[in-house]
Amino acid sequence: MSENDLGFVHRFVPAENGSDITLLLLHGTGGNEEDLIPLGKELAPNAAILSPRGKVSEGGAPRFFRRLAEGVFDNEDLVFRTHELAEFVENSSEKYGFDKTKLVAAGYSNGANLAASMMLLHPGLIRAAVLFRSMVPFEPEVKPDLSGIPVFMAAGNRDQMIPPDNTQTLAEMLEGSGAEVELRWRDTGHALTYEEVGEAKEWMAKVLPRFDRV
């Protein structure tokens, strides 16, 4: 059941089998807090899940921040919403008692862009990230320290919404800040494929044991 407190409609699913990881699931435009839960369960079956619904409405379609046009972001709103979501994560960790040093973001499209923004503005908050169909949220004035943060990115070279060179720039930006980026390309469009979910799951299985107890 979705909850409507801590400022965001959201779902929280407790961890199983003693996992320390919490997945922060961030949906795409028009999605909601339920959308990515099956994906989260696939990626990290034992992890807790925190899945908020974006608070911005674009003609009724929930998003995590405003945009002026497709791929043109309202920078002020993006920064505000990123801080707001970071605060929600902090408050959720107190309410639900999860370890916020073991937070793994997994986002699709608009949600992946917000996850990238959170890495740039709150570099200590996200321990690892899976970014499906992501682009540069903004150019940071201060380079964040993302040393040792593993990031899996999956992109489609025929994506009409996310220009491939923009995804490439984001990968370079994160890498230039110290992140360990694994960027995978497929001959596909904006929609996510089963194969990519499988690759992300394999990547998770390699990366999570670095900081999970189970």
Task: Give 160: exposed, middle or buried? Use CB within 10 Å, 0-12, 13-18, 19+.
Answer: exposed
Pattern of binders to ligand MLT over 164-203, x per CB under 6 A? ----------------------------------------
**Is 67 a binder of ligand MLT (CB under 6 A)?**
yes
**Is 71 a binder of ligand MLT (CB under 6 A)?**
yes
As a whole number of angstroms, the distance between CA 150 and CA 209 comes to 12
Among 110, 117, 167, 177, binds ligand MLT (CB under 6 A): 110
Of 51, 159, 177, 212, which residue is the catalytic one? Answer: 159
109 has catalytic annotation = yes
Write down how long the chain is: 214
**Is 51 a binder of ligand MLT (CB under 6 A)?**
no
C-alpha 156: how far from chain center: 17
Q: How far is the CB of 105 from ligand MLT (least distance, A)?
A: 14
Nearer to ligand MLT, 124 or 164 (CB): 164
As a whole number of angstroms, the distance between CA 84 and CA 158 comes to 33
Q: What residues contact 131, with CB distance under 8 A and at least 6 apart?
A: 105, 107, 112, 115, 116, 151, 152, 153, 154, 170
Among 22, 29, 51, 93, binds ligand MLT (CB under 6 A): 29
Instruction: Specify the long-range contacts of residues 32-40, CB closer than 8 Å, at least 24 apart.
Output: 32/62, 33/2, 33/9, 34/2, 36/106, 36/108, 36/111, 37/11, 37/13, 39/106, 39/108, 39/197, 40/13, 40/106
Nearer to ligand MLT, 13 or 161 (CB): 161
83 has catalytic annotation = no
Nearer to ligand MLT, 60 or 97 (CB): 60
Of 19, 109, 117, 134, which residue is the catalytic one? Answer: 109
How many residues bind ligand MLT (CB under 6 A)? The answer is 9
Q: Which residues bind ligand MLT (CB under 6 A)?
A: 28-29, 67, 70-71, 109-110, 113, 161
